[in-house]
Chain A
Amino acid sequence: MSEAGTETVAAEAGAAPEKVTPGRLVLRHMLGHRATTAALAGIVLMILVAIFAPLLAPYDPNYANVLHRHQGPSWVHLLGADGIGRDTLSRIIYGTRTAVWTSFESVALALVVGVPIGLLVGFLGGWWDRLAMRVTDIFQSIPSLIFAFALIAVLGRGTNQTALAVAIVFAVILMRIARALALREREFLYVDAARVAGMPTWHILFREILPNTVGPIIVEAAIMLGSAIMIITMLSFLGLGLDATVVDWGSMLDEARNYQATHPYLALPPGLAIIFAVLMFNFAGDGLRDALAGKQSARRAPRRRKKPGSAAGAVAAAELPAPDVIAVRGLKVEFPGGEAGAKPLEILSDVSFSLRRGETLGLVGESGSGKSMSALSLLGLVPTPGEVTSGEILFGGRDLAALPEAELAAIRGREIAMIFQDSIAGFSPVHTIGEQLAEPLRIHKGLGEAEAKARVVELLDLVGVPNARERIDDYPHQFSGGMAQRASIAMALSCGPRVLLADEPTTALDVTIQAQVLDLLGDLQRRFDMSVLLITHDLGVVAETCDRVVVMYAGQIVEEGAVADVLSRPRHPYTYALLTATPREDVRMDRLPTVPGSVPPPWAWPRGCRFMPRCAFARAECGQGPVPFVGGTRCLRAGELQLEVVR
């Protein structure tokens, strides 16, 4: 109905991905993993052996042929015979039946009882939850096996009693897990949305929350099946377990123990059977867990990195034009493709810009444009498995892209410092602010503890942290976002760097705090004559603080120039679109100009101009091939377009 709507449909329909349900996706991930497939096959095999035990076993497992006592493996007894001449293979096969039956019985019971109670108390919270938690707290002090002893003392010995005891132990554990999952899910807004929509509690619990908890619970259940086998064989080894008439691996091991010195072979078959069973359940559980997390089976190792330490290249790069402090030339960053054998993804393509002495350069773009990656690559901090695969970063007579890690570490924090968006997360939570601020001073300047501490107090005063002397003993979580950002600025300045990289330094802050921090950064930049690279998505921030600006879109620079020019007479349609779509607090518009669609992901970048599908001025020739960066912009029609921003 609305125009804005129809444009988007047209633009977004093209990128329609293949339709897959989450469940199918998980199954595909699981089967894509060889160990998991093998484990599932192993479990099926055990179940089949359990069902068809009478057909598979060559003998009655309790038939004792005294003449064959302690016979080793032979054609008559493939796995030999035990101390009273019973066939070991038949006993292993019937033992499988017991193991499969008791483990499934106990885990199933535990699931039926523990999960609904856990979900309910977690979701309802309040008194019910506190009561349930006090009860489960008791089991924090009584280990499961000991609890099982007490239960067997009450229930008596026997196969079903043992399974029941194990089931009760597991039910308590599952209740805890289900409660924690419900508590986590309850925080998601979809639960609030369902309540606001008037959905009844049972619906929210079983239709909304349960489906999101099934995965982790199945993982636990799979691993519990293995633990059940372990605990039940342990109990039966101790003589607390199963009926004497039931054949099981634990009591086989108990018998084997008696002949340990003379017939050590007896302990092997039941032990290996237990290992096999537990291994299968654990692998299945782990595989399912990885599949739920969407993990791929081992990514390709990164291929060619730009050779580090090639001294010749580093020296040849020495000459920089006078005003430039850093010059980035033709930088390319790649990540390995998702599936094995896929082409690598290019996250940055041909990025070239320079940062001049004493200026503030804005690097602006939306999420996914590559602006943060550009800053990280300057310091050799591209997250693994990404790599700089070509290009140069010239700084102080060196090529940072070719420098070995140790030499980069000497530059980081001393010559080029960096601050991040989430300043609190940028501090180690278990060290005081003072200890952490002193770190660069101690590493780079070799200051002693007392000197460093005094300097830290001075620095915190400088950036406007009140009561600096007391606050150095505080931990990061005791700082507000604004104060933590001031502290990280203080740390960045501590070694007198020539360059400061600021990656969205104020995005997480409130608008009044943002203004304060930006004003502070401006003051310090002038005072210490630093060059600042300010990464932001906000053109307002650029206009308020920067001298020049570089605009990025989909891994490329699309425009570069003085702030006054770019923001009033943009030459690239993307800059223009971004400027007009940004709402302003000083003007009310009846309709905001829009950009159709959204920023494409790296695997869907167009071959020609990457903005073409969303561009109002696109022509057929725009899609024919990569567009070169000429005269400060990457647009074929730059010469003919008149893009004036009306204020």
Chain B
Amino acid sequence: MRRLILLRLGMSLVSLVLAAAFVFFLIQLSPVDPVVLALGEGAEPQRLDAMRRELGLDQPYVVQFLSWFAGILRGDFGTSFFTHRAVLETLLERLPVTISLLVGGGAIAIVVGLAAGFAAGLRPGGWMDRVVTSAVSLALAVPGFWFALMLGLLFAVELRLLPVAGYVAFEDGPLLWLQSLVLPCVALALHGMAVIGRHTRGVVIDVLGSPFIEAIRARGTPPGRIVRRYVLKNAMVPVLPVIGVQLAIIIATSSVMEKVFVLPGLGTLMVASVISSDFPTLQGAIVVIAAMVILINLLVDLGLGLLDPRVRPQ
């Protein structure tokens, strides 16, 4: 297991470098010249050159990347072209919202998805299975942000149970913080819940039909014990990677929920940076998100290592 942890940790670092490099070089393809953007169309060539030198933009791209990435490792994400603030400062301001959404939405998606998937898969063709299967089909077709609008309409506008929009930081009141996150998290969880539920159902049906379950039944193990002891653990092996993918998608789609519920997270920051061509901020935000996704993937891999002896290095 220790070998597995070291191996995966090393691979995660490689992934982070590759992701950062990819984002950096991709953004360099943009026709927008940040210096022209900063100084305006009519600026004299000397001033443009001077600023390029100052920002190191006259260096080869590889050198620029290395100095940018070295900065990130030191905690220096550069400065925004637009607000002229340190990127890191902005990111740290926005991160709590994104993490709150990830944890809340992810927890709902995992708990409800697994429960529904097991309930349906243990009795395929039963009424529970039919309910879950239909709900999953519908949930997969409902756009999350529209669902969010409808939730807001019902619980905030009509019933006045929860706030329509806005974010309250945890420090300013835990209850208000929780209230401001309930609707966004539920809306965010919708798709992940459906995907996890559908996948779990299929996996459970597969596991129940596998030869070792037949062999275990032939040994006289009672059905309840078969499910608790054997189906659960075997089913989690293929479900875990799907959970990882869904969490990554939840991070990405939280940008839409941030817009619906007016929450100051990384998502709206990225959207604004795309619109204003604020590349240092955009790159920084994407690297932070990539780091979060890589961490999730690492946890999934380690979880798999715990569950399944076959993936552990010999």
Contact = CB atoms under 8 A, between A and B. Distances in A.
A627 to B, nearest CB: 33
Contact of A425 (B143, B157, B211): B211
Interface in B197-236: 210-212, 214-223, 225, 229-230, 233-234
Interface in B149-189: 149-150, 152-153, 157, 164
Contact of A428 (B212, B220, B248, B270): B212
A319 B227 CA distance: 37
Given A411-B220, A418-B218, A443-B220, A146 B143 contact: no
A141 B294 contact: yes
Contacts of A157: 275
A489 interface: no
Interface string B47-59: 0000000000000
A274 B293 CA distance: 29
B22 A239 contact: no
Q: In the complex, which of the residues B22, B138, B146, B221 has the most CB atoms of chain A within 10 Å of its own CB atom? A: B146
Interface stretch (A6-14, A277-285, A510-518, A549-557): A277-285
B289 A143 contact: yes
Contacts of A240: 271, 274-275
Contact of B140 (A278, A405, A428): A278
Interface in A238-281: 238-240, 253, 256-257, 260-261, 264, 267, 270-271, 274-276, 278-279
Contacts, number: 215
Contact of B297 (A141, A260, A301, A409): A141
Interface stretch (B60-68, B71-79, B81-89, B251-259): B251-259
Contacts of B256: 234, 237-238
A357 interface: no
A142 B289 contact: yes
B237 interface: yes
B220 A444 contact: yes
Contacts of B225: 443
B6 interface: no
B149 A257 contact: yes
A282 B139 CA distance: 11
Interface in B287-314: 289-290, 293-294, 297, 307-310
B242 to A, nearest CB: 13
Interface stretch (B26-34, B35-43, B112-120): B26-34
Interface stretch (A114-122, A132-140, A329-337, A583-591): A132-140
A426 B212 contact: yes
A96 B246 CA distance: 28
B215 A420 contact: yes
A641 interface: no
Contact of A274 (B146, B230, B290): B146
Contacts of A381: 214, 217-218
A149 interface: yes
Nearest to B144: A234
Given A134-B18, A282-B140, A406 B222 contact: yes
A413 interface: yes
Q: How large is the interface on B (under 10, 10 to 19, 20 to 34, 35 or more residues)?
A: 35 or more
A253 B218 contact: no
B252 A146 contact: yes
A233 B141 CA distance: 13
A409 B255 CA distance: 53
Contacts of A414: 220
B211 A426 contact: yes
B220 A142 contact: no
A77 B212 CA distance: 63
A491 B215 CA distance: 11
Nearest to A237: B145
Given A153-B30, A431-B230, A261 B16 contact: no
A379 interface: yes
Contact of A143 (B140, B251, B271, B282): B251
Given A237-B256, A425-B211, A260 B233 contact: no
A138 B274 contact: no
A144 B252 contact: yes
- Dominant SS among interface residues on chain A: helix
Q: In the complex, which of the residues A234, A405, A491 has the most CB atoms of chain B within 10 Å of its own CB atom? A: A234
B297 to A, nearest CB: 6
A59 interface: no
Contacts of B252: 143-146
Contact of B220 (A144, A237, A413): A413
A439 interface: yes
Interface string A151-169: 1111011000000000000
A410 interface: yes
B249 interface: yes
A141 B219 contact: no
Contacts of A264: 153, 157
B216 to A, nearest CB: 7
Nearest to B295: A141
Given A143-B289, A146-B286, A443-B225, A429 B310 contact: yes
A428 B223 CA distance: 15
A279 B149 contact: no
Interface string B1-27: 000000000000001101100110011
A274 B143 contact: yes
Contacts of A151: 26
A253 B146 contact: yes
A322 interface: no
A15 B299 CA distance: 56
Contacts of B310: 429, 475, 477
Contacts of B220: 409-414, 440, 443-444
Contacts of A153: 27, 30, 273-274, 277, 279, 282
Q: In the complex, which of the residues A405, A409, A410, A418 has the most CB atoms of chain B within 10 Å of its own CB atom? A: A409
A422 interface: yes
Contacts of B297: 140-141
A429 B293 CA distance: 29
B15 A141 contact: yes
A386 interface: no
A335 to B, nearest CB: 15
Q: In the complex, which of the residues B125, B142, B220, B221 has the most CB atoms of chain A within 10 Å of its own CB atom? A: B220
Contact of B274 (A149, A275, A282): A149
A479 interface: no
A108 to B, nearest CB: 22
Contact of A253 (B15, B149, B234): B149
A389 to B, nearest CB: 20
A253 B145 contact: yes
A138 B144 CA distance: 26
B216 A405 contact: no
A145 B260 contact: no
B212 A150 contact: no
Given A428-B234, A430-B309, A238 B26 contact: no
Contacts of B282: 149-150, 153
A86 to B, nearest CB: 19
Contact of A412 (B164, B217, B234): B217
Given A261-B164, A282-B137, A411-B220, A429 B255 contact: no
Given A142-B293, A238-B256, A240-B275, A260 B152 contact: yes
10 contacts: A142-B290, A144-B252, A271-B146, A282-B137, A413-B219, A418-B218, A418-B219, A426-B211, A428-B234, A430-B237
Given A253-B146, A282-B140, A420-B218, 19 more contacts: A138-B19, A142-B286, A143-B252, A143-B289, A234-B256, A237-B259, A264-B157, A274-B141, A274-B143, A275-B142, A409-B220, A409-B221, A409-B222, A420-B215, A428-B233, A431-B229, A431-B233, A439-B221, A477-B309
Interface of A: 134, 137-138, 140-146, 149-154, 156-157, 226, 230, 233-234, 237-240, 253, 256-257, 260-261, 264, 267, 270-271, 274-276, 278-279, 282-283, 286, 298, 301, 379, 381, 383, 405-406, 409-414, 417-418, 420, 422, 425-431, 439-440, 443-444, 475, 477, 488, 491
